[in-house]
Structure 1
Amino acid sequence: MKAIVDPRQARHDPKHFMANGAILQNPEQPRRVEVLQAGAEAAGCVFEAPDDHGPGPIAAVHSPEYLVFLQTIHERWMRIEGASEEVIPNIHPDNRTASYPRSAVGQAGFHQADTSCPISADTWASAYWSAQTAISGAAAILDGERAAYALSRPPGHHAFGDLAGGFCFLNNSAIAARYLAGKGLRPAILDVDVHHGNGTQGIFYRQSDVLTVSIHADPVRFYPFFWGHAHERGEGEGLGCNLNLPLPRGTGDGDYMRALKTGLERIAAFGADVIVVALGLDAYEDDPLKGLAVTTGGFAVIGGAIASFGAPVLFVQEGGYLCDGLGANLASLLEGFQAV
């Protein structure tokens, strides 16, 4: 399987993370790239560098105001006397229609949903090449590849059109899907991360040319809390083009596969001719952010089920955090896919 990665993705090295009021080490570490690349290579992937497709595909998903913010905010933040080394918000508007401030502190609160997405001097470059990795994966599908793996890091599915959150800055899966749709394909995004892809849902919620399906731990008591509930079906033109399949905490392989079957049935009904898999591996039973209990063998079954659908597939890396099983889980899923 063709695979894409760029070493500049490892330059983003976030330090700050807050959970339950405690300041902890950020789990979205650069070493994830090394571990995931080794796992993909164990499954037979051959890596190459991404092409630079320019800002256009990114700007097709994210607002220019937000992109200027991401590129300039750290330099502006460093002019604040006594500021932290990373841009971390401490105030937020109550809605997206609130007035837009000129202050760097105010704009950080407007464009960063939480404290898990600190911005350093290297964040923009890493996020940019993470997105270009996903776009290059989409280009490989357009060139006739049956499947491709985009090792995109930092991840993307919690990023809205103008809002970072949950370790995410640019929504790589959404960017890839919009790119494919722009080339005349009918993509579905299948998000298998343990957390709901709230940014992806938000981007496409009122659109009908991209289907969004997410299988995740029930957000009633799990991040991202405010999105990912079963009644969220899309609005306007997009009504019926969003499917959330929340699962009880601790769900294992069997019930997970039943949800996946439902998701693939909806993708078939949509008439999708390509699937973008937002590939979180944090549904693993021993993931540090655990919410579900998928086994290493279960990931192979997930991969096989996706392959059986019969459409070209672009895997775009999302979550899956440093633990003993991370690389093996990726290898298991990709091997399961390639065995069909």
Structure 2
Amino acid sequence: MLTFYNELHSQHRGRHEFFRGELVPCFEKPERVDQVLAELGRRGLGQIVTPHSVPPMTLERVHTPRYLSFLRNAWSDWVALDPANANKDAFPAVWPVRTLRADIEPDNFCAKLGLYSMDSGTPITSGTWTAAKTGADCAVNAAHALRLGERATFALTRPPGHHAGADFYGGYCFLNNAALAAQHMLDDGARKIAILDIDYHHGNGTQSIFYDRSDVLFVSIHADPRSEYPFYLGHADETGHGAGLGYNVNLPLPHGASTQAWFAALETACLRLQMFQPEALIVSLGVDTFAGDPLSHFGLQSADYLRIGERLSYLGLPTAFIFEGGYAVKELGVNVVNVLEGFDTAL
């Protein structure tokens, strides 16, 4: 398996995040990727390469130019407000909720933060743009390698991506890596691409990007949004709109769902993927479904991730895995690489 590794991921290193009313150390931290990289090296699972940079127009196929301009300049604008901000992460404090206008970009940078964000738990740091852009490079390179004949690839990067929408960030995500990978394959000539999101949290950004389209099937297994982030998207009745009706499949599971229930949902997802007959599969690979994860409430064990990889391999599709969530750092490397090894050795 070919792994595209973001060597610059640690440039995004948040000091804190807001969690349940207080500032706490960030759960989304560089050690997450370090653990996966170490486990890949220990098992010798394929080649690890550096991605080629993709042009700005590739990002604009998924994200709006206005949002990309904001994100690219956010740190310099933050420090320009006050040189002392160089020692503080940037967080929003106001949002354009219902009845307020989001079509006009304010001049005030603090207002821009709220315009383009969905939560107060996703810090912007001095290296956020560099890490996110290089992560997008990894995802697009991983997708392109499938077009060149690779059976499976892995984008090992952070920050993650599946909560980022066309014009907003949140849930630790800034650029939607899975969406960028899928869109690149379509632009390169593919007719139908599927995205399977197995992160504990619903990939709201990915859903919103493709919700009215029939060339991308989005299937997500996740915790019920009535009780878990992102709260406002991910319900079973969200099945697509217009041309996309029927091409969005949400499989929410209740708090504390059993491993048996999770794998039953995976089987439902695989059946829908087979019916769609895509030319390739993008997997948003979150392993925060693990029993020891500090942000989640499912019960999967490390051995279960081997089973996941094996089941996805039986779909027989060229597959790009994109690293998303998972915050139990001690076990993280084993769980992620178990999925990849299960996939790599099943056939």
TM-score normalised to structure 1 length? 0.97
Q: 1:218-238 CA distances to partner (integer Å, 9 max, x unpaired)?
A: 111111100111111111111
Indicate if the aligned counterparts of 1:153 and 1:317 stay in contact, CA closer than 8 A: yes
Q: CA RMSD in A?
A: 1.4
The aligned residue for residue 154 of structure 1 is 159
For residues 28 and 281 of structure 1, the distance between their equivalents in structure 2, rounded to whole angstroms, comes to: 13
1:6–1:323 CA distance, 2 compared to 1 (3 A): closer
The question of whether the paired residues in 2 share the 8 Å contact of 1:286 and 1:323 is answered with no
Distance, in Å, in 2 between the alignment partners of 1:144 and 1:339 is 18
Residues 1-340 of structure 1: matches in 2 within 5 Å?
1-41=1-41, 42=43, 44-81=45-82, 83=85, 85-95=88-98, 97-185=102-190, 186-340=192-346
Percent of aligned positions with the same letter in both sequences? 39
* Aligned-partner SS, 1:330: helix
Deviations 1:126-151 (A, max 9, x none): 00000000111011111100000110
Structure 1 residue 39: Cα displacement: 2.3
Name the stretch that deviates more: 73-82 or 208-217.
73-82
Deviation at 1:321, TM superposition (A): 1.4
2:76 & 2:295 partners in 1: Cα distance? 32
Q: Which amino acid aligns with 2:96?
A: P
Using the TM superposition, give the Cα deviation of residue 56 of structure 1 relative to its aligned residue in structure 2, in angstroms: 2.0
Distance across 2 between alignment mates of 1:224 and 1:270: 27
| Equivalent residues, number | 340
AA in 1 matched with 2:21: G
State the distance in 1 between where 2:118 and 2:104 align. 16
The 1-side partners of 2:16 and 2:238 are apart by: 32
Equivalent-residue separation in structure 2 for 1:97 and 1:28 (angstroms): 28
Does the 8 A contact of 1:159 with 1:171 survive in 2? yes
Secondary structure of 1:115 counterpart: coil
Unaligned stretches of 5+ residues in structure 1: none
3-state DSSP of counterpart to 1:174: helix
For structure 2, list consecutive stretches of 5 or more residues without a partner in the other structure: none
SS in 2 for 1:216: strand
Residue type of the alignment partner of 2:254: P
| Distance in structure 2 (CA, Å) of the matches to 1:299 and 1:250 | 18
Q: Residues 100 and 107 of structure 1 are in contact (CA less than 8 Å); yes or no, is this contact kept in structure 2? A: yes
Bigger Cα displacement from structure 2, 4-13 vs 123-132 = 4-13
TM-score (norm 2): 0.95
1:252 Cα deviation (Å)? 3.1
1:215-258 Cα distance to aligned partner (Å, 9 max, x none): 01111111110011111111111111100000112223221111
> Is residue 78–residue 85 contact of structure 1 (8 Å, CA) maintained in 2?
no
Amino acid at match of 1:60: R
Q: Secondary structure at the match of 1:303?
A: helix
Conserved in 1, the CA contact under 8 Å of 2:116 and 2:168? yes
Residues in 2 aligned to 1:131 and 1:152: alpha-carbon distance in whole angstroms: 9
Q: Per-residue displacement from partner, 1:170-229 (whole Å, max 9, x unpaired)?
A: 000000000011122211000000000000001111111111010011111111100111
Q: Is the 8 A contact 2:32 2:329 kept in 1?
A: no
CA apart distance, 1:87:
1.5
Partner SS, residue 104 of structure 2: coil
- Give the drift of 1:322: 3.9
How far apart are residue 45 of structure 1 and its match?
Answer: 2.8
Is the 2:31–2:329 Cα contact (8 Å) retained in structure 1? Answer: no
Name the CA distance, whole Å, in 2 between partners of 1:48 and 1:308.
Answer: 26
Instruction: After TM superposition, give the deviation of residue 68 of structure 1 in Å.
Output: 0.4
2:74 and 2:332 mapped to 1: Cα distance? 33
Contact residue 199 and residue 286 of structure 2 kept, 8 A: yes
CA contact (8 A) 2:102 2:115 kept: no
77-86 or 118-127, which deviates more? 77-86
Query: Which whole-Å CA distance do the structure 2 matches of 1:285 and 1:293 have between them?
Result: 4
- 1:3 match: secondary structure: strand
Residues of 2 paired with 1:2 and 1:60: CA distance?
A: 25
